[in-house]
Structure formats: C-alpha cells, structure tokens
Amino acid sequence: MIIEKIDIENFMCYAGPNSMEFTEGINVIIGDNGYGKSKLYDAFYWVMYDQVFVPEKKEFQNTKLVKSKIISDKVKAEIIDGRVTASVSITFRNLEKDNVFILERKYSVAIKDSLVIESNDSEFTVMKKELSYLNAKMVIDEEEKKKIVQKILPYDIKDYLWFQGEQVESIIDFNKQDTLTKAINVLSSIKRYDEVKEIAKSAAKAGNAEYDREVKRLSKDLGKSEQLENQKKQFGVRLAEFLIDEKEVKENLSRAEGKSEELLSKLSDANKITTLKQRKKSGLDQLKSLNVTLNDEQISFHRKMFRNKWVLKGTGLVHKEFSEKYASYESYKLEKASDLKAKNNLESEIQKKLQIRLPIDVPEPIYVLKMLEEEKCLVCDREAKKDSDAWNKIKELIDRPIIPSNLKSSEIPTLQNFSSDFKRLYQNGLALSHRISEIDYDIAETLKKIGDINSKIRQTNNEIKIVDDDIQKLVSDSSQTLENAESIVAEFSIQNKHVKDFTEKLNRVTQQIELNKKNLNTIDIQLKDLITGEIPKWLVEKKQVLNDFEEIAVSTRDRVFSNLISQLEKETNNHYTAMTSGNKSTRGQIKLRKLPNGNYMPEITDSTGSPLLGSNTSNLILVKLAAIMAIISAKSNDGIVSFYSLITDAPTSVFGEDYTIGFCKTVSKVYRQSIIMSKEFYKNQTLRNELMTNSEIKIGKVYMITPSIPETERTDRKRLSTSIELLN
Amino acid sequence: MTKENIFKNFIDDPLLIEKGYITNDKLYKLKFIDQSGIKLIEVVKMAIECTVDDYGEATASRKINKFLNSGQL
C-alpha cells in the first residue's frame, strides 16, 4: 500500500486547494522552520485519526477540541458570511491487489458577520476503487471504515511508522525497559507463540488435574491420599507464591540493573564532574586560605614598618655619615679643648708674668686711664708720650683681658654642648645599624612571600577557572547538571546495592522454588504408590503429551524470540552502520541485552562487548531509529517494508547533518515508500543535491514548501498560505 | 507468518526426537497440512490453528481435550 496523493484544502496554513503526489522511494518535503512541514504531517494524521498535534500542549488533540483552528485563518478572514470547509484527502494504492482507497476528512464552520460558528465533529469518508473492475464504492459502514484504516495503518504499529522527530525518544524509551520488548511483540509474530504457550499451559494444567483425580479415585488409602493432596495443595500454593516472588524479584533486579546500566553510561561523566567539583571546592578553600594569609601579610607589612624598623630603610649611610661627623666633632672638640688648654696655659703664664710686675687691676683702671690721658706714669712719675713704648705698656694694662681666656666665647666650639646627645644618637644608631643592614633582606623576603601568595592565588584562580571550564564543558556535553552528577554517583551506588540484594534474594527464592517442586514430586510419587489397579494408558499418555506440549511451547517461544532478537540485533546494526557511515566519530555495535525479567535493552558496546560509555544523544536516537527500522523490516520476509509507508516529520533534526544522507539511504532501502519532512535540505544546498543525485538513494518526489509570509514577519495568519513546488 | 512457518519452528524443538515422538528423517518431511500420526504434533497443530484463526484459548483447550480423549489420530 503506497500513498499516491494528498489533497489539502484550507487546512491550517494550506489555504486554498493544494496537492502533492508521491511515488515509491523516499519522498521529501523540504522547508525551513515554520514553513508548514508539521502541518503537512498533521494533515496525514488528521485524516487517519481525527487528531492534530497541538504544540502548546505537546499532544495530539481531537477535532472536537481544536475545532476551527483546523481551518486556514486566511480563508476564515476572507469570508464574512458563508461556510468554510477544510478538507484533506489521501489516496492509498494497493499495488498488489490494484485497488485504491481514498480517505477524506472534512471539517466545516459557518461564518456569520465574520463570527465563526464552530461545529464539533469532522466528517470522514472512505472510497474504495477496484481498478481492475473499474468500479468504485463509497464505504458507508463505520466498522468497515475502521477496518480499512486499521488495515492501512494498524494502530499498534502506527507509532513506528508515522512519527515526528521529537517522538523518536519516546517510541523506544530506554528508561522504560519493556518498550523494546513491547515493540517486538507488536511488530513480530511472537504473540502467536505466546498464545500457543498459554494454550499449552492451560491444557497441561487441565490434563494434570484430570490425572490427579484418577490417581485419587484409584487410591487404596483415601485418607492418606486426602492428606497428601492437602500437602500438595499447600506446596502448590507456596510454589505459586514463590513464583510470584521470583517474578517480582526479577522485575526489581531488571529495574535495578537497567537503572544501574543507564547510570553507568552517565557515571563516567558524573564521576568526572564530581571530582572536578571537589577539586573546585578544594581550590576555593585554598583560595580562601591564601586570601586570609595575604591579608595578614599585608596588615603585617604595615606593622613591620615600625615593628621591624623598616622606616629606617636606607639610613645605613646616614649613620655612617653621622658617625664620621660625630667622630670629627669629638676630635675637633678634643682638639679645641687641647688648644684652649694650651692657650689658657699660655695666658696663665702671661698673667703670671704680668703679675710679676704688677698685680692685676693695680693700679686701678681709672688711674690707668688717667695715666694714658695725662701721658704720664703716675707710679714712677715719668713721662709716657702717646704711642710711645711706655704709653703702650700702660695701655696694655687696660687692654688686659677681663675674663680669663679659656672662658671667652670665641674660643668655645659651641654655645651648647650636644656631645651627650650626639653620643646617644651615635649609640642608638650603632644599636640599629645591624637591624638596618637586615631591613632590605627582611623587606625583600616579605615581598617575596606576598609575591608567592599572590602567585599562588593567581595559580589557584587559573586552576579554578580551568576546572570550571571543564565542568561547564562536561555539563554541556553530558547534559548533566552539577547537582545531577552528584545524585548520579550516589544513585549508582544505591542501584548497585539493589542489584546485589535482589540477586541474593533471587537465589534464595529460586532455591525455595526448587525445594517446593521437589516436594511436589515426592508427593506425586507417594500418591502413585497408593494406587490400586492401573491408570488408563490413554490418560497417562494424555498427561505426558500435554506436559511435553507445554515444554515444547515454552522452549519454542523462547527459541523463536531469541532468534528474533538475534535477527533484530543484526538488522539494527546494519541500519545503524548504514545511517552512521557519514560520521567518523560514531563507534560501537548495538547489543540487545537480555534483562533478568526477560525484557531487552539496546546498548552500544565496544569490540569486546563491554558497554560503550558516553555515547552522544545523536547516537542514541540513531540506535532507536535503527531498532525501529529493524523491527518493522523484520516483519517482512525480504527485509523491505512494502505494505506500510513511513511518514516522519523532521526525523533528522534530532541528529547532525552528517547522518542525514545515511538516514535517507537506509530509509530508501528499508521502506518501499517514505515521506520525510526535512529542513536540512532547505539550508544545505550540497546536501539537497546529494539527495537528488545519490545513486544509493531511491528518490521519489521532492517538494519545496514556502509560506506566503515568513514566520518572523507574521503578526497573524490572516494572509498566510503555503505554496508547493515540485523540484523533480 | 503462516501456520506452516509457525509449525516448522515448533517441530524444530529437540524434545520431539529426544522423547522418541519422531525420527529425524520423518521430521523434515512433516507438513502442517499432513496428518503426522503423532498425538503431540497434532496437538501443536491444533493450538497453532486456533491461534492463527483467532479461536481463542478456551476453544483450543476444548478441541485438544476432545482429541486426546477420543484416542483417535
């Protein structure tokens, strides 16, 4: 069944009549964000399921809720009075049977004075045409319509065939361990084997009960038989309880292993983040301590100006100079004192000599002055003319110093005696001179210490910055928050403990199950021993056949499922390899790991089979897409999905452009027909050219859709329409 | 998946040979539509038929029970 055509009229941004035809191969609708790709996807979905995706609610809603929003705003704005209808019609063609189904959905509103009067329901019609017989009929019966829809796209597999890019995450949710198993159940024939298994179990149970009744009937000791039957019942009840326990423990173990596994992929980054966080904390502590030390040193630096006498820095020469001057002063002083003493001695000598002739102040100065005035010595009464020797000698008497010469100011070195002060200063200086000589070293040492602290602070700041950058990079790459990282590490430890605990519990429960089974066998033997006569052969045979049937049913189901998983794993890897061929960084193989509860989880492993940690989001999404393709293709014998078309909106937007061509190649190989909405080919002309020309891609129709008004320039949608251009 | 495909998977089970229901030679010649003359295989076929034709578990059990009680092949 392929989609031949879609006709869209007045549906959302598709104002007026619009049409697209499709062929086998990969059909691509190219358009940038806001160009109408998702609305086109909605158009397909609406026809089939009467629902459209409401982005604000992030869910599909029925026409009943969305109502007139389905109809183009442009068309509604252009009508003042009248009726407006949105319609989408899809033509499906069954190439094998050469018949056509045209599914059409319509929704109308009445407009009166520009007021929209909404109706609740859409109208759905199905037309069936048999081309070989040239007849066509409108399907009236609602049940038949449903059957046709179900046949075109079975509801339980629609999620794997029609999906939006952002839905890929949830189609196979690695956090929900049974989603892959569910998908396998839905998309494979394994459910047939499950049904046979249930029939076998039920038949074996009934056969065993019938046999037990016969054993009891033939018992020679009914009382004993009754007693053994009761014991058997008790063991049966206990066994059933242990089996329930076993199932529950296995579920818990699987959950814990799953969580542990899931965390394991994040653990490496989480550990790194946690270690970096600890390093940051330690760096911050060190920084704090360094800042305190620096602050202390700076305060101490000022104190040392006085405490360590740094203010005297550079005064070493001053002291030397002072010492020299002081020495010179002392020497000068001694010299002067010596001179003075000599002078005084001389004067004393002179005076002594003078005193030989006349005592001092004899005659009295007034008489001496009179003698000088009269030019006559009154002592000897001789004439003494002015300026004569005699007169001069008399004058010498008056000119004789009054104060002893050693007391004359001109002969004293200073007026004040600073000698003691100078001495004290010298001694102080001498005491400080050793300290002064150490000041430079002391300051240099202190500055070096401060420099070292500053250097350590800078270094620590740099380290913190590097750690911060590493944390940010890790946080960004691993999509983990700092808080998350710590909780991941803690949660991993908890889950590991759970795994250990549940494994131990499972062992205990398994032992109990074995014990109860053994007890039941013993009772069966004892019951058999009580038989008188013979159990009919046909009944013995019936019991044997039914128990063997149960055994075969269980083992066949497991074997088929296991083969299916192997096939699926192989196919998934083929698709994954094909899709990732354009990306050199992609590594690993997909392994479908069986959990204790029987579910399967995909994981990326290295060449040794160990889980590959740190796979990026693109890789994980590609794993999911590969698994979906494998499950879908596994349903067919030749690995090609012939009957159903893949319709997907922006599947490639969730991974990089590197994967786009690989994805298209794989899709065109796996699906007979696919319709892909993509913006990657809008932005990247090279990619578009490759899409159109690559011989490995079976290309169908390629359309470019363009809105009449770009999304950024829209104030409303009242003039919005969408043009469709066929590119090939 | 046809009845025949499902049937082939069931008769691949080693139990059939181990318990002496059939020999290896005969096993490969078995077809869904043919009478095998082996009760276990006929029971398997009945279950497959009821499953594929959506008869349900109760109908299947009843048919199997009736078949094994009749002693017919």
Q: What is the pLDDT of residues A647-686, one digit of tens each?
A: 988 877 766 677 888 889 888 888 889 999 998 898 889 9
Residue spans per domain, chain A? 2-153+644-726, 316-439
pLDDT interval class at A400 (50, 70, 90): low
Higher pLDDT, A80 or A636: A80
pLDDT interval class at A359 (50, 70, 90): low
SS3 A246: helix
**Cα dist from B55 to A56, A205, B32, B50, whole Å:** 45, 20, 18, 5
Higher pLDDT, A140 or A56: A140
Residues of chain B with C-beta less than 8 angstroms from the C-beta of A197: none
**pLDDT above 90: residue A606:** no
Chain A residue whose CA is closest to B12:
A556
Residues of chain A with C-beta less than 8 angstroms from the C-beta of B15: 548, 551-552, 555
The answer to whether A61 and A51 are in contact (CB under 8 A) is yes
Contact A199 B61 (CB under 8 A): yes
* 3-class secondary structure per residue, A357-421: HCCCCCCCHHHHHHHHHHCEECCCCEECCCCCHHHHHHHHHHHCCCCCHHHCHHHCCCCCCCHHH
Residue A715, C-beta contacts closer than 8 angstroms, at least 6 positions apart: none
The C-alpha atoms of residue A306 and residue A308 are separated, in whole angstroms, by: 5
**pLDDT above 50: residue A168:** yes
Q: Which residue among B15, B39, B52 places its CB closest to the CB of A555? A: B15
- Local structure of residue A598 (DSSP, 8 states): S
The string of pLDDT tens digits covering residues A521-547 is 999 899 888 888 888 888 999 999 999
Residue A691, C-beta contacts closer than 8 angstroms, at least 6 positions apart: A28, A661, A664, A681, A697, A699, A702
HSE on the CB side for A361, CA within 13 Å?
A: 3
pLDDT of residue A594: 77
B40 touching A (Cβ < 8 Å):
yes
What class has domain A2-153+644-726? alpha beta
The answer to whether A163 and A648 are in contact (CB under 8 A) is yes
pLDDT > 70: percent of chain A: 91
Residue among A210, A211, A549 with most chain B CBs within 10 A, to mutate = A549
Contact B61 A206 (CB under 8 A): yes
pLDDT of residue A501: 93
pLDDT interval class at A410 (50, 70, 90): very low
Task: Say what the ipTM of the complex is.
Answer: 0.97
pLDDT of residue A20: 96
User: Among A129-133, A331-335, A520-524, A686-690, which is the least confidently predicted range?
Assistant: A129-133
pLDDT in tens, chain B (73 residues): 688 989 999 998 999 999 999 998 888 888 999 888 899 999 999 999 999 888 888 899 999 999 998 866 5
pLDDT interval class at A143 (50, 70, 90): very high
pLDDT of residue A402: 54
**Cα dist from A641 to A369, A544, A621, A672, whole Å:** 158, 43, 21, 6
pLDDT of residue A636: 63
3-state helix, strand, coil in chain A (%, to 5): 60, 15, 20
The C-alpha atoms of residue A129 and residue A608 are separated, in whole angstroms, by: 56
B20 touching A (Cβ < 8 Å):
no
**pLDDT above 70: residue A118:** yes
How much is the average pLDDT of A622-632?
81
**pLDDT above 90: residue A105:** yes
The closest of B39, B38, B22, B13 to A543, measured between CA atoms, is B39
pLDDT of residue A406: 47
Virtual torsion, Cα A614, A164, A31, A667, nearest 10 deg:
70
SS3 A584: coil
The string of pLDDT tens digits covering residues A37-50 is 999 999 999 999 99
Q: Is A616 exposed, middle or buried (0-12, 13-18, 19+ CB in 10 A)?
A: middle
Q: What is the token pair recorded at A549? A: 């049937």
Closest-CA distance of chain A to residue B26, Å: 18
The string of pLDDT tens digits covering residues A476-500 is 777 677 777 888 888 888 888 989 9
Q: Which residue has the tokens 């519990």?
A: A505
Please provide residue A104's backbone torsions phi and psi, each rounded to the nearest 5 degrees.
-130, 140
The C-alpha atoms of residue A219 and residue A531 are separated, in whole angstroms, by: 4
Contact B9 A552 (CB under 8 A): no
First to last CA, chain A: 23
pLDDT of residue A409: 45
Q: What is the token pair recorded at A36? A: 């109408």
B47 touching A (Cβ < 8 Å):
yes
User: Among A349-353, A436-440, A609-613, B40-44, which is the least confidently predicted range?
Assistant: A609-613
Q: Which residue has the tokens 């109760």?
A: B58
Chain B residue whose CA is closest to A204:
B61
**pLDDT above 70: residue A272:** yes
How much is the average pLDDT of A162-169?
77
**Cα dist from B11 to A43, A101, A126, whole Å:** 48, 41, 44
Q: What is the token pair recorded at A277? A: 């966080």
The closest of B40, B65, B63, B35 to A556, measured between CA atoms, is B40
User: Among A554-568, A630-644, A705-719, which is the least confidently predicted range?
Assistant: A630-644
Mean of pLDDT over chain A? 85
Contact A203 B21 (CB under 8 A): no
Q: Is A98 left (phi over 0), alpha (psi -120 to 50) or beta?
A: left
**pLDDT above 90: residue A332:** no
pLDDT > 90: percent of chain A: 32
The C-alpha atoms of residue A680 and residue A702 are separated, in whole angstroms, by: 13
pLDDT interval class at A360 (50, 70, 90): low
The answer to whether A651 and A3 are in contact (CB under 8 A) is no
- Sequence-ordered alpha helix ranges (H) in A107-221: 142-152, 158-161, 168-171, 179-187, 190-217
The C-alpha atoms of residue A208 and residue A549 are separated, in whole angstroms, by: 13
Closest-CA distance of chain A to residue B56, Å: 9
Q: Which residue has the tokens 């994967």?
A: A659
pLDDT of residue A675: 94
The answer to whether A272 and A398 are in contact (CB under 8 A) is no
